[in-house]
Chain A
Amino acid sequence: MKKLVTHRLFWPVMALLALIVVNTIARPQFISVTLRDGELYGALIDILRNSAPLMLVALGMTIVIATRGIDLSVGAIMAVSGAVALTIIDTSGDPGSGATVAVALLVGILVALVLGVWNGFLIAVLGIQPIIATLVLMLAGRGVALLITDGFITTVTSAPYKFIATGYVIGLPFALFISVAAIIVIALLERRTALGVLTESVGINPEASRLAGVRARGIVFGAYAASGVLAGMAGILYSSNIMAADANAAGLYIELYAILAVVLGGTSLMGGKFTIAGTVVGVLTIQTLESTILFLGVPSAQAPVFFAAVVIVVVLVQSPRLHRFARGLFASRRPDGGGPSTPAPTPPTTTEPTKAEAVR
Chain B
Amino acid sequence: MTVNEDTPAIAMRGITISFPGVLALDHVDFTLRRGEVHSLMGENGAGKSTLIKALTGVYPIDSGTIAVDGEERVFSATADAQTAGISTVYQEVNLCANLSVGENVMLGHEPRGRAGIDWKAVHRLAAEHLAGLGLAVDTRSILSSHSIAIQQLVAISRAMVLDAKVLILDEPTSSLDRGEVERLFAVIRELRDQGVAILFVSHFLEQVYEISDRITVLRNGRLVGEHLAADLPRDSLVSQMIGRELDELDAISRTADRVIDRTAAPVLRATGVGRRGMLEPADLDIYEGEVVGLAGLLGSGRTELVRLLYGADKADSGTVEIGGRPARLTSPRHAIDHRIAFSSEDRRAEGIIADLTVAENIVLGIQAKRGWMRPVRRAERDQVVSEYISALGVRPADPDMLVRNLSGGNQQKVLLARWLATAPQLIILDEPTRGIDVGAKADIQRKVAELSAQGLSVVFISSELEEVLRLAQRVVVMRDRRRIGELDSSTVDLDLLIDYIANEGEGSAA
The chain A residues found within 8 Å of chain B, CB to CB, are: 192-195, 197-198, 200-201, 204-205, 207-215, 219, 272-273
Q: Which of B425-479 contact A (CB under 8 A)?
A: none
Which partner residue on chain A sits nearest B364 by CB separation? A212
With A209-B353, A211-B344 known as contacts, the answer to whether A197 contacts B367 (CB < 8 A) is: yes
The chain B residues found within 8 Å of chain A, CB to CB, are: 310, 312, 332-333, 336, 342, 344, 349-356, 360, 364-365, 367-376, 418
Whole-angstrom CA separation of A331 from B356 in the bound complex: 32
Q: Please determine whether B372 and A194 come into contact, CB atoms closer than 8 angstroms.
A: yes
Which A residues are CB-close (under 8 A) to B369?
213
Which partner residue on chain A sits nearest B334 by CB separation? A213
Q: Please determine whether A212 and B356 come into contact, CB atoms closer than 8 angstroms.
A: no
B97 to chain A, nearest CB (A): 17
Q: Please determine whether B355 and A213 come into contact, CB atoms closer than 8 angstroms.
A: no
With A213-B336, A213-B368, A215-B333 known as contacts, the answer to whether A192 contacts B375 (CB < 8 A) is: yes
Q: Please determine whether A194 and B332 come into contact, CB atoms closer than 8 angstroms.
A: no
Which B residues are CB-close (under 8 A) to A215?
333, 368, 371
Which A residues are CB-close (under 8 A) to B336?
213
Which A residues are CB-close (under 8 A) to B367?
194, 197-198
Q: Please determine whether B351 and A193 come into contact, CB atoms closer than 8 angstroms.
A: no
A-B contact pairs, 20 of them (CB 8 A): A192-B375, A193-B372, A194-B376, A197-B356, A197-B360, A197-B364, A200-B355, A201-B360, A204-B354, A207-B350, A208-B350, A208-B351, A211-B310, A211-B350, A211-B351, A212-B365, A212-B368, A213-B336, A215-B371, A273-B355
B435 to chain A, nearest CB (A): 17
Which partner residue on chain A sits nearest B335 by CB separation? A213
Which partner residue on chain A sits nearest B404 by CB separation? A204
Whole-angstrom CA separation of A214 from B350 in the bound complex: 13
Q: Please determine whether A208 and B375 come into contact, CB atoms closer than 8 angstroms.
A: no
Which B residues are CB-close (under 8 A) to A194?
367, 370-376
Whole-angstrom CA separation of A214 from B372 in the bound complex: 9
A198 to chain B, nearest CB (A): 5
Q: Please determine whether B354 and A198 come into contact, CB atoms closer than 8 angstroms.
A: no
Most buried by B among A204, A212, A272: A212
A221 to chain B, nearest CB (A): 12
Q: Please determine whether A211 and B364 come into contact, CB atoms closer than 8 angstroms.
A: no
Which A residues are CB-close (under 8 A) to B344?
208, 211
Which B residues are CB-close (under 8 A) to A193?
372-375
A274 to chain B, nearest CB (A): 11
Q: Please determine whether B349 and A205 come into contact, CB atoms closer than 8 angstroms.
A: yes
Q: Please determine whether B371 and A201 come into contact, CB atoms closer than 8 angstroms.
A: no
Q: A211-B310, A212-B332 are in contact. List 20 more A-B contacts (CB 8 A).
A: A192-B375, A194-B376, A197-B360, A198-B367, A198-B368, A200-B355, A204-B353, A204-B354, A204-B356, A205-B353, A208-B344, A209-B353, A210-B312, A210-B332, A211-B344, A212-B368, A213-B332, A215-B333, A215-B368, A219-B372
